[in-house]
């Protein structure tokens, strides 16, 4: 991949990067068959399965590998380093030639690190210091069990170092294969179905409406992702079945692909320091910023939502997407002071790419105002 080559709508240049072969099926029975197909075609002899305790307890790993003798290493749900090191050791010892990661975003992120570290004699932290890997990573097939990050088909990972979660963006982190299984999406717990799919929707909306980093391929994929979410989000959350789960799993990967080619936008930029400051999970931290940031940018994003006025758009988003947000936020019992807001604004200001890509121009006072509006009920 060519480094630092970004689509630039203003200068009439675009690129689209996609390295993952995405396989999608409806049932676990089909997934077993596809797994076997990949394994046979790659001539894989030694498989290492990476998952976490929560996912393993659902029995999904047993169902995927029924009757097969495979090593399973359990990772933590928080991108912690010691289970990753244990998995790297297990991979080296077992001379693995295929890693199958079954889990949420944290497991898939960790699996990317394990796959890269095994053949390169590099510690996980050292991956942050290299641009190019001397040896290609171990072949990785990612099977998501939550449907929001799109980690199964993008080049982004996270690792907790010295108690700080740091992200890394390298093309060699991208899984060569992803396997989406609707039956897995259907069994995700209710709150997680809601929050993860809402995150996927926001990825799609934000990546679609950036100022420069857009391409016709990206726009086509994202418009389809939003269409799938518009038609299936509410039923997936309230009454999941194979059809709506298949649609949401597909949309989540489509939005994940977009993150290889652009980035997230204003709501994510505001939410990231807020999550850090209040110790909230990423998906929850987005909730108060969704409407204020879309409203702020409306003038320059309205063309992506034809036939809708801002009032109509907000009504639809509240009814179709934010119907559970109030109940979740009512469980937040913290307060936020002016100093917290200053710290969060400072983090936003360090994001020079956001300044370039946000649909509307934004100055420091704009961030402060957005925090005040979005977080009014917790401000003291």
Residue numbers at the binding site for Fe ion (CB under 5 A): 199
**CA–CA gap between residue 48 and residue 69 (Å, rounded):** 10
How far the first Cα of the chain sits from its last, in Å, is 48
Closer residue to Fe ion, CB minimum distance, 39 or 282: 282
Q: What are 309's two structure tokens?
A: 């006025």
Minimum distance of Fe ion from residue 369's CB (angstroms): 23
Q: Quick one: DSSP state of residue 281?
A: -
Q: Specify the residue for token string 């036939």.
A: 307
Closer residue to Fe ion, CB minimum distance, 186 or 199: 199
DSSP string, 209-269: T-SS---HHHHHHHHHHHHHHHHHHHHHHHS--HHHHHHHHHHHHHHHHHHHHS---HHHH
**CA–CA gap between residue 371 and residue 340 (Å, rounded):** 10
Closer residue to Fe ion, CB minimum distance, 99 or 255: 255
Count Cβ atoms within 10 A of the Cβ of residue 71 and give its class: 0-12 exposed, 13-18 middle, 19 or more buried.
middle
Taking CB positions, which residue lies at the least distance from Fe ion?
Answer: 199
Closer residue to Fe ion, CB minimum distance, 183 or 199: 199
Minimum distance of Fe ion from residue 73's CB (angstroms): 26
Closer residue to Fe ion, CB minimum distance, 199 or 357: 199
Minimum distance of Fe ion from residue 355's CB (angstroms): 20
Closer residue to Fe ion, CB minimum distance, 199 or 213: 199
Question: In the chain, where do the E strands start and end?
Answer: 21-25, 47-52, 71-75, 98-103, 139-144, 156-161, 164-169, 177-181
Can you count the helices (H) and strands (E) in the chain?
A: 17, 8
Closer residue to Fe ion, CB minimum distance, 146 or 215: 146
Q: What are 275's two structure tokens?
A: 């999550």
3-state secondary structure of 25: strand
Minimum distance of Fe ion from residue 332's CB (angstroms): 18
Minimum distance of Fe ion from residue 195's CB (angstroms): 10
Closer residue to Fe ion, CB minimum distance, 83 or 148: 148
Closer residue to Fe ion, CB minimum distance, 199 or 351: 199
Minimum distance of Fe ion from residue 220's CB (angstroms): 21
Q: What are 367's two structure tokens?
A: 């961030």
Phi, psi of 157 (to 5 degrees): -135, 170
Minimum distance of Fe ion from residue 219's CB (angstroms): 19
**CA–CA gap between residue 320 and residue 237 (Å, rounded):** 11
CB atoms closer than 10 angstroms to residue 29 = 12
Closer residue to Fe ion, CB minimum distance, 25 or 156: 156
Q: Quick one: DSSP state of residue 65?
A: T
Minimum distance of Fe ion from residue 286's CB (angstroms): 7
Quick one: angle between helices 266-278 and 364-374, nearest 10? 60
Minimum distance of Fe ion from residue 264's CB (angstroms): 6
Answer for the pair 149, 199: CB distance below 8 angstroms, yes or no: yes
Phi, psi of 139 (to 5 degrees): -55, 130
Minimum distance of Fe ion from residue 252's CB (angstroms): 11
């Amino acid at each position: 991949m060519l480094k630092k080559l970004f689509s630039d709508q203003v200068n009439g240049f675009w690129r689209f990067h996609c390295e993952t072969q995405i396989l999608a099926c409806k049932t676990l029975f089909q997934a077993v068959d596809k797994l076997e197909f990949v394994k046979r075609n790659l001539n894989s002899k030694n498989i290492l399965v990476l998952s976490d305790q929560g996912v393993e307890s659902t029995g999904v790993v047993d169902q995927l590998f029924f009757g097969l003798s495979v090593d399973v290493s359990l990772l933590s749900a928080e991108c912690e380093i010691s289970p990753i090191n244990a998995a790297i050791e297990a991979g080296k010892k077992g001379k693995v030639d295929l890693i199958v990661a079954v889990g949420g975003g944290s497991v898939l992120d960790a699996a990317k690190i394990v796959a890269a570290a095994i053949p390169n004699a590099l510690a996980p932290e050292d991956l942050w210091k290299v641009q190019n890997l001397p040896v290609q990573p171990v072949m990785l097939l990612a099977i998501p069990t939550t449907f929001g990050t799109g980690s199964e088909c993008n080049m982004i990972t996270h690792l907790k170092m010295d108690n700080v979660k740091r992200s890394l963006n390298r093309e060699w982190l991208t899984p060569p294969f992803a396997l989406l299984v609707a039956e897995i999406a259907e069994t995700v717990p209710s709150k997680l179905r809601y929050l993860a799919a809402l995150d996927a929707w926001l990825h799609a909306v934000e990546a679609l409406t950036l100022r420069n980093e857009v391409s016709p391929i990206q726009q086509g994929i994202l418009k389809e992702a939003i269409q799938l979410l518009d038609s299936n989000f509410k039923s997936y959350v309230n009454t999941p079945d194979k059809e709506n789960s298949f649609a949401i799993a597909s949309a989540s990967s489509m939005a994940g692909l977009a993150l290889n080619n652009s980035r997230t936008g204003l709501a994510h930029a505001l939410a990231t320091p807020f999550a850090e400051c209040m110790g909230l999970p990423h998906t929850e931290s987005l909730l108060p910023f969704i409407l204020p940031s879309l409203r702020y940018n409306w003038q320059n994003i309205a063309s992506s939502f034809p036939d809708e006025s801002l009032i109509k758009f907000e009504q639809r988003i509240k009814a179709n997407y934010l119907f559970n947000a109030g109940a979740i936020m009512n469980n937040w019992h913290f307060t936020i002071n002016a100093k917290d807001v200053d710290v969060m604004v400072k983090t936003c200001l360090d994001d020079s790419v956001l300044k370039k890509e946000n649909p509307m121009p934004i100055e420091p006072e704009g961030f402060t105002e957005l925090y005040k509006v979005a977080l009014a009920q917790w401000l003291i």
